[in-house]
Amino acid sequence: MPVLKKLLMVGLCTGVASCMVKPKQVAGYDYDCEIVTRKIELTLDQQTRFRQMNCQNEECKAQAVAELASSMIILPLSAIVSGSIALTGNTLYWLEEKGRCLSSKKATAS
């Protein structure tokens, strides 16, 4: 089997099962500080990229290759962007939580 066919098969399998990483906000409650906490978790969302295609001409084949290439790029790109959002958001939520917890404890002590 030529290398091009192997690459195409790997790409097709990756593309058909393409996923996208998405940030999701989750709320909780800290009983020690008596405050609502928030954090961002990363979730995987499966994308349906390919329609039923019956390619008979070059334009259709070019479109299939373009969709395949874009689906292989989506997962790592969405992981980088969503990971950055989650890291920044969780850092800010952590700082907010610590500030509220300190003020809550000071108010309780007074």
Mean pLDDT estimate for the chain? 78
- Sequence-distant (6+) residues with CB within 8 A of 67 are 15, 49, 50
* Least confident stretch, 39-48, 60-69, 95-104: 60-69
Q: Give the pLDDT of residue 89.
A: 94
Q: Give the pLDDT of residue 39.
A: 94
List, as one string, the DSSP characters of 24-53: EEEEEEETTTTEEEEEEEEEEEE-------
Q: Please list, residue by residue across 62-95, b when 16 or more beta carbons sit within 10 angstroms of its beta carbon and e when fewer do.
A: eebeebbeebbebbeebbeebeeebeeeeeeeee
Which range in 37-41, 54-58, 96-100, 106-110 is most confidently predicted, on average pLDDT? Answer: 37-41
Structure confidence by residue, pLDDT tens digits, 68-85? 777 777 778 888 999 999
More confident residue, 13 or 79: 79
- Sequence-distant (6+) residues with CB within 8 A of 85 are 23, 40
Structure confidence by residue, pLDDT tens digits, 23-48? 999 999 988 888 889 999 998 877 66
Q: Give the pLDDT of residue 103.
A: 79
**54 pLDDT band (50/70/90 cuts)?**
low
Is residue 21 within 8 A of residue 74, CB to CB? The reply is no
